[in-house]
């Protein structure tokens, strides 16, 4: 996997000397706000305005996927345009090759590689080149490449642009959402990567055991609760969904998260199908990009780059979750 060092492209390994996967911190942490005032980090000057921002994503990446879902859920599709990278992430990292169905090329600047967007923002950047990227056309720079913060910007800052709509991070649930997000992020969202990229048995088992402990905890929680926070869909559900959508297709086999399949967990499988069947998920979930990216890009895991044809899963089957509304 490549990265920029002083604005120059180089390659490096994903694991430390102990064989454990290390996820890098996001390097651009500004915030779009309703009036352009500074947010919790970074600098001010990024006011929520229609047409001002551009979102760079991969349809394969779960972190970018959550930003796409939030964009749709908050009615921002007509106000924030999007470029989709090619699913293959090889020696040049993410590219704007548009030869794969659904890849759009760089609709804003016509660049060949996503790293050029980072260099356009900071010529001497030292950073991983990741998606999503929220770009400010007015100031010609990156606002943020931190998905968790981008979805909160979409939820909180753009009421004057698209209307308020249901809150994904409502004030009365924030305290309850935070520990759920934290556990799911560490052991599941990132846990699948820690399992898949581990290069020692010890590192693998240290990741996969808590991963399935969290899945068991979620199965129990969702057996009696329609969504993670009860009757309302929140950001916690969408942060979980984008990992669940990839679980049986990729993480079970490719990342060796194979103690159980998602479809073997009745509550979680029904919950995942219900979320998929909502328009903000269905329109942004692309299994062809998902399967191609992981199996073709990770040569250390799949050296022959064979993309499996399965599994055959019926995401449109009735989910039966309505019964919990009256429970």
CATH of the domain at 97: 3.40.30.10
Answer yes or no: is pLDDT of 13 > 70. Answer: no
> How far, in Å, are 101, 160, 168, 197, 238 from residue 77 at the CA level?
20, 15, 16, 34, 17
> Whole-angstrom Cα distance, residue 290 to residue 132?
15
Tens of pLDDT along 121-135?
999 999 999 999 999
Q: Within a 10 A sphere around the Cβ of 16, how many other Cβ atoms?
A: 11
- Identify whether 29 is part of a domain: yes
Tens of pLDDT along 150-197?
999 999 999 999 987 799 999 999 999 999 999 999 999 999 999 999
Predicted confidence band at 11 (pLDDT cuts at 50, 70, 90)?
confident
Answer yes or no: is pLDDT of 18 > 90. Answer: no
Boundary (domain end) residue, out of 139, 162, 185:
162
Cβ(236)–Cβ(228) below 8 Å: yes
Q: What is the pLDDT of residue 164?
A: 74
- Identify whether 103 is part of a domain: yes
- At 303 the three-state DSSP class reads coil
Q: Do 17 and 154 share a domain, yes or no?
A: yes
> How far, in Å, are 10, 93, 196, 199, 220 from residue 300 at the CA level?
18, 15, 10, 10, 35
Q: Do 141 and 225 share a domain, yes or no?
A: no
Q: Do 34 and 128 share a domain, yes or no?
A: yes
Q: Within a 10 A sphere around the Cβ of 178, how many other Cβ atoms?
A: 12
> Can you spell out the DSSP letters for 120-165?
HH-TT--EE--S-EEEETTTTEEEE--HHHHHHHHHHT-HHHH---
Tens of pLDDT along 215-240?
999 999 999 999 999 999 999 999 99
Handedness of CA 41, 178, 227, 173 (dihedral sign): negative
Q: Which of 61, 118, 227, 294 is catalytic?
A: 61
Boundary (domain end) residue, out of 141, 162, 183:
162
Answer yes or no: is pLDDT of 327 > 70. Answer: no
Q: Do 149 and 203 share a domain, yes or no?
A: no
294 is catalytic: no
What secondary structure letter does DSSP report for 263?
G
Rounded to two decimals, the pTM is: 0.95
Domain that holds residue 22: 2-162
**Tokens 């929220």 sit on residue:** 134
Tens of pLDDT along 186-220?
999 999 999 999 999 999 999 999 999 999 999 99
Strands (E), the chain: 2-5, 8-11, 53-57, 81-84, 127-128, 133-136, 141-144
Residues near 163 by Cβ (< 8 Å), separated by ≥ 6?
75
What secondary structure letter does DSSP report for 116?
H
Instruction: State the average pLDDT for the chain.
Output: 95
**Span of 124-128, 205-209, 278-282, 304-308 with lowest mean pLDDT:** 124-128
Q: Do 97 and 222 share a domain, yes or no?
A: no
Return the percentage of the chain with pLDDT > 70, whole number: 95
Answer yes or no: is pLDDT of 23 > 70. Answer: no
Q: Do 21 and 140 share a domain, yes or no?
A: yes
- Identify whether 206 is part of a domain: yes
- Identify whether 155 is part of a domain: yes
Q: Do 65 and 156 share a domain, yes or no?
A: yes
- Identify whether 149 is part of a domain: yes
Boundary (domain end) residue, out of 162, 192, 221:
162
Cβ(122)–Cβ(140) below 8 Å: no
Q: Do 234 and 256 share a domain, yes or no?
A: yes
Answer yes or no: is pLDDT of 14 > 70. Answer: no
Q: Hey, what are 202's tokens? A: 């010890």
Q: Do 115 and 43 share a domain, yes or no?
A: yes
Predicted confidence band at 30 (pLDDT cuts at 50, 70, 90)?
very high
- Identify whether 133 is part of a domain: yes
Q: Hey, what are 67's tokens? A: 């930003």
Tens of pLDDT along 91-122?
999 999 999 999 999 999 999 999 999 999 99
Q: Do 184 and 127 share a domain, yes or no?
A: no
Q: Within a 10 A sphere around the Cβ of 49, how many other Cβ atoms?
A: 17
Which residues does residue 15 pair with via DSSP β-bridges, in sequence order? 21
Q: Do 154 and 185 share a domain, yes or no?
A: no
Handedness of CA 170, 172, 174, 180 (dihedral sign): negative
Q: What is the pLDDT of residue 207?
A: 98
Number of domains in the chain: 2
- What CATH number is given to the structural domain containing 241? 1.20.1050.10
> Whole-angstrom Cα distance, residue 314 to residue 319?
10
Tens of pLDDT along 58-96?
999 999 999 999 999 999 999 999 999 999 999 999 999
Q: Do 258 and 111 share a domain, yes or no?
A: no
- Identify whether 294 is part of a domain: no
- At 125 the three-state DSSP class reads coil
Q: Are strands 81-84 and 53-57 parallel, antiparallel or unpaired?
A: parallel
Q: Which of 53, 56, 118, 193 is catalytic?
A: 193
296 is catalytic: no
Q: What is the pLDDT of residue 171?
A: 97
Count of helix runs (H) and strand runs (E) in the chain: 11, 7
Q: What is the pLDDT of residue 314?
A: 98
């Amino acid at each position: 996997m490549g990265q920029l060092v002083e604005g120059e492209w180089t390659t490096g390994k994903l694991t430390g000397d102990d064989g454990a996967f290390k996820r890098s911190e996001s390097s651009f942490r500004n915030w779009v706000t309703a009036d352009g005032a500074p947010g919790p980090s970074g600098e001010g000057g990024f006011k929520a305005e229609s047409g001002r921002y551009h979102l760079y994503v991969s349809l394969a990446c779960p972190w970018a996927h959550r930003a796409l879902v939030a964009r749709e859920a908050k009615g921002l599709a007509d106000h924030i345009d999007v470029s989709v990278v090619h699913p293959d992430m090889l020696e040049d990292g993410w590219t704007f090759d548009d030869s794969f169905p659904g890849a759009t090329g760089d609709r804003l600047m016509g660049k060949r590689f996503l790293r050029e967007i980072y260099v356009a923002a900071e010529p001497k950047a030292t950073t991983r080149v990741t998606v999503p990227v929220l770009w400010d056309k007015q100031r010609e720079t990156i606002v943020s490449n931190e998905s968790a913060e981008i979805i909160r910007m979409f939820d909180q800052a753009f009421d004057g642009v698209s209307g308020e709509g249901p809150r994904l991070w409502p004030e009365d649930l924030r305290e309850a959402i935070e520990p759920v997000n934290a556990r799911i992020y560490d052991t599941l969202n990132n846990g699948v990567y820690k399992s898949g990229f581990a290069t020692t048995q010890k590192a693998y088992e240290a990741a996969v055991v808590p991963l399935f402990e969290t899945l068991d905890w979620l199965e129990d929680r969702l057996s009696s609760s329609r969504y993670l926070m009860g009757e309302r869909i929140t950001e916690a559900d969408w942060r979980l969904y984008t990992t669940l959508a990839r679980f049986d297709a990729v993480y079970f086999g490719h990342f060796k998260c194979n103690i159980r399949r998602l479809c073997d967990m009745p509550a979680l499988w029904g919950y995942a199908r219900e979320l998929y069947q909502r328009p903000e998920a269905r329109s942004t979930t692309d299994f062809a990009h998902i399967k191609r990216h992981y199996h073709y890009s990770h040569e250390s895991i799949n050296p022959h780059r064979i993309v499996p044809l399965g599994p055959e899963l019926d995401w449109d089957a009735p989910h039966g979750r309505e019964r919990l509304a009256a429970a």
